Structure 1
Protein backbone atom coordinates (compact mmCIF):
# COMPACT_ATOMS: atom_id res chain seq x y z
CA UNK A 1 0.00 0.00 0.00
CA UNK A 2 1.52 3.28 -1.10
CA UNK A 3 1.57 6.56 0.82
CA UNK A 4 -1.36 8.04 -1.12
CA UNK A 5 -3.58 5.11 -0.17
CA UNK A 6 -2.50 5.35 3.48
CA UNK A 7 -3.28 9.07 3.47
CA UNK A 8 -6.72 8.46 1.94
CA UNK A 9 -7.42 5.68 4.45
CA UNK A 10 -6.35 7.87 7.37
CA UNK A 11 -8.57 10.71 6.10
CA UNK A 12 -11.55 8.35 5.77
CA UNK A 13 -10.94 7.00 9.30
CA UNK A 14 -10.77 10.55 10.62
CA UNK A 15 -14.11 11.39 8.98
CA UNK A 16 -15.75 8.24 10.41
CA UNK A 17 -14.40 8.94 13.91
CA UNK A 18 -15.59 12.55 13.67
CA UNK A 19 -19.09 11.43 12.63
CA UNK A 20 -19.23 8.91 15.50
CA UNK A 21 -18.13 11.60 17.98
CA UNK A 22 -20.73 14.06 16.67
CA UNK A 23 -23.46 11.41 16.80
CA UNK A 24 -22.49 10.28 20.30
CA UNK A 25 -22.24 13.86 21.58
CA UNK A 26 -25.63 14.69 20.07
CA UNK A 27 -27.20 11.59 21.66
CA UNK A 28 -25.74 12.38 25.09
CA UNK A 29 -26.82 16.02 24.85
CA UNK A 30 -30.39 15.05 23.91
CA UNK A 31 -30.47 12.55 26.76
CA UNK A 32 -29.21 15.15 29.24
CA UNK A 33 -31.79 17.66 28.04
CA UNK A 34 -34.55 15.05 28.28
CA UNK A 35 -33.53 14.10 31.83
CA UNK A 36 -33.32 17.74 32.86
CA UNK A 37 -36.76 18.45 31.38
CA UNK A 38 -38.17 15.40 33.20
CA UNK A 39 -36.67 16.58 36.51
CA UNK A 40 -38.21 20.00 35.96
CA UNK A 41 -41.64 18.50 35.28
CA UNK A 42 -41.65 16.07 38.19
CA UNK A 43 -42.13 18.51 41.13
CA UNK A 44 -45.29 19.98 39.57
CA UNK A 45 -46.66 16.53 38.78
CA UNK A 46 -45.95 15.27 42.29
CA UNK A 47 -47.65 18.30 43.81
CA UNK A 48 -50.65 17.95 41.49
CA UNK A 49 -51.13 14.31 42.41
CA UNK A 50 -50.64 15.01 46.12
CA UNK A 51 -53.19 17.86 46.09
CA UNK A 52 -55.73 15.84 44.08
CA UNK A 53 -55.37 12.82 46.35
CA UNK A 54 -55.82 14.99 49.45
CA UNK A 55 -58.97 16.58 47.99
CA UNK A 56 -60.33 13.10 47.21
CA UNK A 57 -59.49 11.88 50.72
CA UNK A 58 -61.21 14.89 52.36
CA UNK A 59 -64.33 14.34 50.23
CA UNK A 60 -64.53 10.69 51.27
CA UNK A 61 -63.37 10.69 54.89
CA UNK A 62 -64.64 14.08 56.09
CA UNK A 63 -67.60 14.65 53.76
CA UNK A 64 -71.18 14.92 54.96
CA UNK A 65 -72.56 11.55 53.91
CA UNK A 66 -76.06 12.31 55.23
CA UNK A 67 -76.66 14.62 52.26
CA UNK A 68 -75.89 11.98 49.63
CA UNK A 69 -78.92 11.21 47.49
CA UNK A 70 -79.49 7.42 47.65
CA UNK A 71 -79.99 7.32 43.88
CA UNK A 72 -76.51 8.80 43.26
CA UNK A 73 -74.43 7.17 45.98
CA UNK A 74 -72.19 5.49 43.43
CA UNK A 75 -71.22 8.89 42.06
CA UNK A 76 -70.05 10.20 45.44
CA UNK A 77 -66.41 11.29 45.11
CA UNK A 78 -66.15 10.26 41.47
CA UNK A 79 -65.25 13.74 40.24
CA UNK A 80 -62.34 13.86 42.69
CA UNK A 81 -61.41 10.28 41.76
CA UNK A 82 -61.17 11.26 38.08
CA UNK A 83 -58.89 14.17 39.01
CA UNK A 84 -56.61 11.82 40.92
CA UNK A 85 -56.48 9.33 38.06
CA UNK A 86 -55.66 12.09 35.55
CA UNK A 87 -52.82 13.27 37.81
CA UNK A 88 -51.61 9.67 38.20
CA UNK A 89 -51.57 9.12 34.43
CA UNK A 90 -49.43 12.25 33.95
CA UNK A 91 -47.12 11.08 36.72
CA UNK A 92 -46.71 7.69 35.03
CA UNK A 93 -45.06 9.37 32.03
CA UNK A 94 -42.22 10.94 34.02
CA UNK A 95 -41.84 9.24 37.42
CA UNK A 96 -39.93 6.12 38.41
CA UNK A 97 -41.75 2.82 39.05
CA UNK A 98 -41.32 3.32 42.82
CA UNK A 99 -43.12 6.69 42.73
CA UNK A 100 -45.88 5.37 40.46
CA UNK A 101 -46.41 2.35 42.69
CA UNK A 102 -46.58 4.52 45.82
CA UNK A 103 -49.07 6.89 44.15
CA UNK A 104 -51.24 3.93 43.16
CA UNK A 105 -51.25 2.74 46.78
CA UNK A 106 -52.51 6.14 47.94
CA UNK A 107 -55.39 5.95 45.47
CA UNK A 108 -56.15 2.36 46.44
CA UNK A 109 -56.63 3.14 50.13
CA UNK A 110 -58.83 6.18 49.51
CA UNK A 111 -60.98 4.06 47.22
CA UNK A 112 -61.14 1.39 49.95
CA UNK A 113 -62.50 4.03 52.34
CA UNK A 114 -65.05 5.10 49.74
CA UNK A 115 -66.22 1.50 49.32
CA UNK A 116 -66.50 1.13 53.10
CA UNK A 117 -68.86 4.10 53.36
CA UNK A 118 -70.89 3.16 50.29
CA UNK A 119 -71.41 -0.38 51.57
CA UNK A 120 -72.51 0.95 54.96
CA UNK A 121 -74.96 3.39 53.34
CA UNK A 122 -76.40 0.67 51.12
CA UNK A 123 -76.95 -1.49 54.20
CA UNK A 124 -78.87 1.37 55.82
CA UNK A 125 -76.44 1.93 58.69
CA UNK A 126 -77.18 5.24 60.39
CA UNK A 127 -74.03 5.43 62.53
CA UNK A 128 -71.18 4.45 60.22
CA UNK A 129 -68.01 3.37 61.99
CA UNK A 130 -64.97 5.30 60.85
CA UNK A 131 -62.53 2.97 59.04
CA UNK A 132 -59.44 3.90 61.04
CA UNK A 133 -57.54 0.85 59.88
CA UNK A 134 -58.01 2.00 56.28
CA UNK A 135 -57.08 5.56 57.24
CA UNK A 136 -53.73 4.47 58.71
CA UNK A 137 -52.98 2.46 55.57
CA UNK A 138 -53.72 5.61 53.58
CA UNK A 139 -51.49 7.71 55.86
CA UNK A 140 -48.61 5.24 55.46
CA UNK A 141 -49.09 5.14 51.68
CA UNK A 142 -49.14 8.93 51.45
CA UNK A 143 -45.92 9.20 53.46
CA UNK A 144 -44.29 6.49 51.31
CA UNK A 145 -45.29 8.44 48.19
CA UNK A 146 -43.64 11.60 49.53
CA UNK A 147 -40.50 9.65 50.50
CA UNK A 148 -40.21 8.04 47.04
CA UNK A 149 -40.93 11.32 45.23
CA UNK A 150 -38.40 13.34 47.20
CA UNK A 151 -35.78 10.61 46.77
CA UNK A 152 -36.22 10.72 42.99
CA UNK A 153 -35.89 14.51 43.02
CA UNK A 154 -32.70 14.29 45.09
CA UNK A 155 -34.28 15.74 48.23
CA UNK A 156 -34.11 14.55 51.83
CA UNK A 157 -36.79 12.34 53.31
CA UNK A 158 -39.77 14.22 54.73
CA UNK A 159 -40.40 13.86 58.47
CA UNK A 160 -43.04 11.41 59.58
CA UNK A 161 -46.23 13.35 60.43
CA UNK A 162 -46.80 13.50 64.22
CA UNK A 163 -50.11 11.61 64.05
CA UNK A 164 -48.59 8.79 62.03
CA UNK A 165 -45.55 8.68 64.30
CA UNK A 166 -47.81 8.38 67.34
CA UNK A 167 -49.84 5.62 65.67
CA UNK A 168 -46.68 3.67 64.84
CA UNK A 169 -45.50 3.88 68.44
CA UNK A 170 -48.85 2.65 69.72
CA UNK A 171 -49.09 -0.12 67.13
CA UNK A 172 -45.51 -1.35 67.67
CA UNK A 173 -43.95 -1.26 71.16
CA UNK A 174 -40.65 0.54 71.48
CA UNK A 175 -37.96 -1.96 70.48
CA UNK A 176 -35.35 -0.34 72.73
CA UNK A 177 -37.47 -0.82 75.85
CA UNK A 178 -38.13 -4.42 74.83
CA UNK A 179 -34.39 -4.98 74.36
CA UNK A 180 -33.58 -3.43 77.75
CA UNK A 181 -36.19 -5.60 79.47
CA UNK A 182 -34.79 -8.85 78.13
CA UNK A 183 -31.64 -9.04 80.29
CA UNK A 184 -33.56 -8.43 83.53
CA UNK A 185 -36.14 -11.04 82.53
CA UNK A 186 -33.45 -13.55 81.64
CA UNK A 187 -31.65 -12.83 84.92
CA UNK A 188 -34.90 -13.34 86.81
CA UNK A 189 -35.48 -16.58 84.92
CA UNK A 190 -31.96 -17.80 85.73
CA UNK A 191 -32.34 -16.92 89.41
CA UNK A 192 -35.70 -18.75 89.53
CA UNK A 193 -34.22 -21.84 87.90
CA UNK A 194 -31.14 -21.76 90.14
CA UNK A 195 -33.29 -21.46 93.27
CA UNK A 196 -35.34 -24.39 92.04
CA UNK A 197 -32.22 -26.46 91.50
CA UNK A 198 -30.86 -25.84 94.96
Structure 2
Protein backbone atom coordinates (compact mmCIF):
# COMPACT_ATOMS: atom_id res chain seq x y z
CA UNK A 1 0.00 0.00 0.00
CA UNK A 2 1.12 3.54 -0.69
CA UNK A 3 -0.43 6.67 0.78
CA UNK A 4 0.87 10.10 -0.30
CA UNK A 5 4.20 8.62 -1.29
CA UNK A 6 4.64 6.74 1.99
CA UNK A 7 4.84 2.94 1.95
CA UNK A 8 2.63 1.09 4.41
CA UNK A 9 3.94 -2.46 4.54
CA UNK A 10 1.26 -4.97 5.44
CA UNK A 11 3.89 -7.70 5.18
CA UNK A 12 6.29 -6.37 7.82
CA UNK A 13 6.28 -9.57 9.90
CA UNK A 14 7.08 -11.75 6.89
CA UNK A 15 9.80 -9.34 5.73
CA UNK A 16 11.46 -9.30 9.15
CA UNK A 17 11.47 -13.09 9.32
CA UNK A 18 13.09 -13.33 5.88
CA UNK A 19 15.66 -10.66 6.67
CA UNK A 20 16.56 -12.54 9.84
CA UNK A 21 17.43 -15.61 7.79
CA UNK A 22 19.65 -13.60 5.48
CA UNK A 23 21.30 -11.60 8.28
CA UNK A 24 22.70 -14.84 9.70
CA UNK A 25 25.09 -14.84 6.74
CA UNK A 26 24.75 -18.58 6.14
CA UNK A 27 23.51 -20.59 3.20
CA UNK A 28 19.78 -21.10 3.10
CA UNK A 29 16.55 -21.20 1.15
CA UNK A 30 13.30 -19.27 1.26
CA UNK A 31 10.12 -20.25 -0.54
CA UNK A 32 7.51 -17.49 -0.82
CA UNK A 33 4.08 -18.65 -1.98
CA UNK A 34 0.77 -16.91 -2.49
CA UNK A 35 -1.85 -16.00 -5.02
CA UNK A 36 -1.32 -13.24 -7.56
CA UNK A 37 -1.34 -9.79 -5.97
CA UNK A 38 -0.36 -10.94 -2.47
CA UNK A 39 2.96 -9.05 -2.45
CA UNK A 40 5.47 -11.76 -3.33
CA UNK A 41 7.47 -9.58 -5.73
CA UNK A 42 7.55 -6.66 -3.30
CA UNK A 43 8.78 -8.95 -0.54
CA UNK A 44 11.59 -10.38 -2.66
CA UNK A 45 12.79 -6.93 -3.67
CA UNK A 46 12.56 -5.67 -0.08
CA UNK A 47 14.83 -8.40 1.26
CA UNK A 48 17.56 -8.12 -1.38
CA UNK A 49 20.70 -7.61 0.74
CA UNK A 50 22.55 -4.33 0.21
CA UNK A 51 26.10 -3.64 1.48
CA UNK A 52 26.03 -6.81 3.56
CA UNK A 53 28.69 -8.95 1.94
CA UNK A 54 26.25 -10.66 -0.41
CA UNK A 55 26.22 -10.28 -4.18
CA UNK A 56 22.52 -10.09 -4.95
CA UNK A 57 20.80 -11.08 -8.19
CA UNK A 58 17.09 -10.64 -8.89
CA UNK A 59 15.54 -12.64 -11.73
CA UNK A 60 11.90 -12.62 -12.84
CA UNK A 61 10.53 -15.40 -15.04
CA UNK A 62 8.39 -14.46 -18.03
CA UNK A 63 4.93 -15.91 -18.62
CA UNK A 64 5.38 -15.57 -22.40
CA UNK A 65 8.48 -17.77 -22.29
CA UNK A 66 7.00 -20.51 -20.10
CA UNK A 67 6.68 -22.83 -23.09
CA UNK A 68 10.11 -22.10 -24.57
CA UNK A 69 12.72 -24.69 -23.52
CA UNK A 70 15.66 -23.17 -21.62
CA UNK A 71 14.40 -19.57 -22.12
CA UNK A 72 14.60 -18.74 -18.40
CA UNK A 73 17.99 -20.42 -17.90
CA UNK A 74 19.48 -18.60 -20.89
CA UNK A 75 18.27 -15.20 -19.67
CA UNK A 76 19.56 -15.85 -16.16
CA UNK A 77 22.89 -17.04 -17.54
CA UNK A 78 23.30 -13.80 -19.48
CA UNK A 79 22.45 -11.80 -16.36
CA UNK A 80 25.00 -13.68 -14.31
CA UNK A 81 27.69 -13.53 -16.97
CA UNK A 82 27.19 -9.81 -17.64
CA UNK A 83 29.91 -8.85 -20.12
CA UNK A 84 31.74 -12.14 -20.08
CA UNK A 85 31.33 -14.19 -23.28
CA UNK A 86 28.99 -17.13 -22.84
CA UNK A 87 30.63 -20.26 -24.13
CA UNK A 88 27.88 -22.73 -24.89
CA UNK A 89 28.43 -26.16 -26.35
CA UNK A 90 26.38 -26.88 -29.50
CA UNK A 91 23.99 -29.26 -27.73
CA UNK A 92 23.69 -27.42 -24.42
CA UNK A 93 20.16 -26.21 -25.15
CA UNK A 94 19.00 -29.83 -25.37
CA UNK A 95 20.48 -30.95 -22.06
CA UNK A 96 19.34 -29.60 -18.66
CA UNK A 97 22.45 -30.94 -16.95
CA UNK A 98 24.80 -29.12 -19.32
CA UNK A 99 22.83 -25.87 -18.92
CA UNK A 100 22.84 -26.43 -15.17
CA UNK A 101 26.62 -26.80 -15.27
CA UNK A 102 26.90 -23.46 -17.09
CA UNK A 103 24.74 -21.77 -14.45
CA UNK A 104 26.80 -23.41 -11.71
CA UNK A 105 30.02 -22.16 -13.30
CA UNK A 106 28.66 -18.61 -13.64
CA UNK A 107 27.62 -18.55 -9.98
CA UNK A 108 30.93 -20.06 -8.89
CA UNK A 109 32.77 -17.19 -10.59
CA UNK A 110 31.24 -14.67 -8.21
CA UNK A 111 33.86 -13.88 -5.58
CA UNK A 112 31.45 -13.05 -2.76
CA UNK A 113 28.54 -15.03 -1.27
CA UNK A 114 25.59 -15.07 -3.66
CA UNK A 115 21.96 -14.19 -2.91
CA UNK A 116 19.72 -15.27 -5.79
CA UNK A 117 16.08 -14.15 -5.84
CA UNK A 118 13.87 -15.83 -8.44
CA UNK A 119 10.44 -14.32 -8.90
CA UNK A 120 7.37 -15.78 -10.65
CA UNK A 121 8.94 -19.23 -10.62
CA UNK A 122 5.67 -20.71 -11.84
CA UNK A 123 6.59 -19.36 -15.30
CA UNK A 124 9.99 -21.06 -15.51
CA UNK A 125 9.99 -23.54 -18.38
CA UNK A 126 10.44 -27.16 -17.26
CA UNK A 127 13.90 -27.54 -18.80
CA UNK A 128 15.19 -24.40 -17.09
CA UNK A 129 13.69 -25.52 -13.78
CA UNK A 130 15.68 -28.76 -14.00
CA UNK A 131 18.86 -26.88 -14.90
CA UNK A 132 18.37 -24.50 -11.97
CA UNK A 133 17.70 -27.39 -9.64
CA UNK A 134 21.01 -28.95 -10.77
CA UNK A 135 22.94 -25.76 -9.94
CA UNK A 136 21.17 -24.84 -6.69
CA UNK A 137 21.49 -28.34 -5.26
CA UNK A 138 25.27 -28.15 -5.64
CA UNK A 139 25.61 -24.65 -4.23
CA UNK A 140 23.38 -24.79 -1.19
CA UNK A 141 26.06 -26.10 1.18
CA UNK A 142 28.29 -23.10 0.43
CA UNK A 143 27.80 -19.37 0.96
CA UNK A 144 24.68 -19.28 -1.18
CA UNK A 145 21.11 -18.23 -0.46
CA UNK A 146 18.20 -18.68 -2.85
CA UNK A 147 14.77 -17.11 -2.41
CA UNK A 148 12.05 -18.35 -4.76
CA UNK A 149 8.58 -16.83 -5.13
CA UNK A 150 5.79 -18.75 -6.81
CA UNK A 151 2.06 -18.94 -7.09
CA UNK A 152 0.47 -22.23 -6.00
CA UNK A 153 1.10 -24.71 -8.79
CA UNK A 154 -0.85 -27.62 -10.19
CA UNK A 155 2.05 -28.93 -12.25
CA UNK A 156 5.43 -30.04 -10.85
CA UNK A 157 8.28 -27.51 -10.98
CA UNK A 158 11.73 -28.96 -10.35
CA UNK A 159 13.13 -25.80 -8.72
CA UNK A 160 10.11 -25.05 -6.52
CA UNK A 161 9.94 -28.69 -5.45
CA UNK A 162 13.63 -28.62 -4.50
CA UNK A 163 13.35 -25.45 -2.41
CA UNK A 164 10.12 -26.69 -0.83
CA UNK A 165 11.90 -29.88 0.14
CA UNK A 166 14.45 -27.94 2.18
CA UNK A 167 11.78 -26.28 4.33
CA UNK A 168 12.14 -27.29 7.96
CA UNK A 169 15.50 -29.03 7.62
CA UNK A 170 17.07 -26.29 9.71
CA UNK A 171 16.39 -22.73 10.84
CA UNK A 172 17.96 -21.51 7.58
CA UNK A 173 15.29 -23.09 5.39
CA UNK A 174 11.84 -21.53 5.54
CA UNK A 175 8.59 -20.99 3.70
CA UNK A 176 6.43 -17.87 3.83
CA UNK A 177 2.85 -18.19 2.71
CA UNK A 178 1.38 -14.78 1.95
CA UNK A 179 -2.30 -15.06 2.77
CA UNK A 180 -4.95 -12.53 1.70
CA UNK A 181 -5.29 -9.59 4.08
CA UNK A 182 -7.95 -9.93 6.73
CA UNK A 183 -10.97 -7.64 6.80
CA UNK A 184 -9.39 -5.65 9.64
CA UNK A 185 -6.15 -5.21 7.67
CA UNK A 186 -8.09 -4.08 4.59
CA UNK A 187 -10.07 -1.69 6.77
CA UNK A 188 -6.89 -0.13 8.18
CA UNK A 189 -5.30 0.24 4.75
CA UNK A 190 -8.44 1.70 3.18
CA UNK A 191 -8.81 4.16 6.07
CA UNK A 192 -5.25 5.40 5.48
CA UNK A 193 -5.93 5.92 1.81
CA UNK A 194 -9.19 7.85 2.19
CA UNK A 195 -8.09 9.59 5.43
CA UNK A 196 -11.24 8.64 7.31
CA UNK A 197 -12.81 5.67 8.99
CA UNK A 198 -14.07 2.77 6.89
CA UNK A 199 -16.93 0.58 8.06
CA UNK A 200 -16.56 -3.12 8.63
CA UNK A 201 -19.11 -3.74 5.89
CA UNK A 202 -17.23 -1.61 3.35
CA UNK A 203 -13.92 -3.26 4.26
CA UNK A 204 -15.48 -6.69 3.87
CA UNK A 205 -16.85 -5.75 0.44
CA UNK A 206 -13.47 -4.35 -0.60
CA UNK A 207 -11.74 -7.52 0.54
CA UNK A 208 -14.13 -9.64 -1.49
CA UNK A 209 -13.63 -7.43 -4.54
CA UNK A 210 -9.83 -7.50 -4.37
CA UNK A 211 -9.26 -10.96 -2.98
CA UNK A 212 -7.50 -9.47 0.02
CA UNK A 213 -4.62 -8.13 -2.04
CA UNK A 214 -2.31 -5.57 -0.38
CA UNK A 215 -2.61 -3.58 -3.61
CA UNK A 216 -6.33 -2.96 -3.11
TM-score, length-normalised on structure 1?
0.22
Q: Which has the higher contact order (CA 8 A, sep 6+)?
A: 2
Higher strand share: 2
